[in-house]
Amino acid sequence: WRAVGMARKVALITGITGQDGSYLAELLLSKGYEVHGIKRRASSFNQARIEHIYEKSQSKEEKVPFYTHYGDVTDLNNLVTLLNKTQPDEFYNLAAQSHVHTSFELPVYTAHVDGIGTLNALEAIRQAGLAGKTKFYQASTSELYGKIQEPKQSETTPFYPRSPYACAKLMAYWCVVNYREAYNMFAVNGILFNHESPRRGETFVTRKITRAVAAIKAGRQNDVRLGNLHSTRDWGHARDYVECMWLMLQQEEPEDFVVATGETHSVQEFCEIAFAHAGMELRWEGSGLDEVGIEKATGIVRVKVDSRYFRPTEVDVLLGNPEKARTKLKW
């Protein structure tokens, strides 16, 4: 930006300490942005994913314009203050209670953070007088489709949420649409299907499997216990998906986009591939709660089904249609 004599673009990111927040911060810094992240106060260290960026921001040799601020999307006044202070060109709302299974145990908290939190972010932009300046990105989710109404889900597929998490995200989705139409704000929903990476939280099924495989290979663990082995998901990589977030805010007009790979795979398939990477081939026996994954070479049971990990209302299949993003965003 400085090379062409333009002011440096400023971005504000909630959920900066998460998987997507850290990748997005890296991407925006590489494009010459000044990046501000909002983090929650915690008594234990919660910045592992952004520590390498923070270190660069403190370095004299390779100093990057990266700043963090304490805050929370449930605190409207705090958001207004931070918006007034940073005056961002782009605001990415990635903060959430993002675990579906946990949302059944914390439904009201999830609604406050994921639903009201998004409304707070939109209202804060309006109250700070930035509705005409700040472009807003909302981290929406394929969980909105839930009990799927079409085999392949696109921007026009009806929603049928199947968890408190999805219900809260449904409120957030429609708040974005409403503020876009009511106040002419540049506000968009990125309906992202599952996206993974080495930075994915360790309680999510992909990391749970890969960490278990490593521990089993190292002799520190005998098996892994999972929920529904036959759930299928459209899995992509988080680094690819944050690029799409950025692209959405570079368009002339605000529009919502599905971000997906267009392929779906089962948890069972994921297990087979992960174990095979570590030199362990699996075969499957039994059904339902008695289904097990057995290591072919040794006959040892490596994968077991545990009903504790079943959801009260299951989402069996998710498969995204990313054609609009491919065509319009050239993603």
Sequence-ordered list of residues with C-beta below 8 angstroms from that of 142, at least 6 positions apart, any chain: 153, 191, 192, 193, 194, 234, 258, 260, 318, 320
The whole-angstrom distance between residue 232's C-alpha and the CA centroid of its chain comes to: 18
**Inter-residue contact 67 to 37 (CB < 8 Å):** yes
d(CA 203, CA 308): 14
Token pair, residue 72, equals 């929370």
Residue of 33, 165, 173, 241 with catalytic role: 165
Write down how long the chain is.
331
Q: Which residue among 118, 134, 141, 206 is the active-site one?
A: 141
Q: Which residue type occupies 139?
A: A
What phi and psi, each to the nearest 5 degrees, are found at residue 75? -115, 95
DSSP structure string for 65-122? -EEEEE--TT-HHHHHHHHHHH--SEEEE------HHHHHHSHHHHIIIIIIHHHHHH
> How do strand 90-93 and strand 195-196 relate by DSSP bridges?
unpaired
Residue 248 vs residues 96, 161, 187, 265: alpha-carbon distances, Å: 20, 24, 10, 27
d(CA 224, CA 302): 6
CA distance 185 to 10: 17
Active-site annotation holds for 165: yes
Q: Exactly one of 26, 34, 90, 143 is catalytic; name it.
A: 143
241 is catalytic: no
134 catalytic? Reply is: no
| Residue positions annotated with a catalytic role | 141, 143, 165
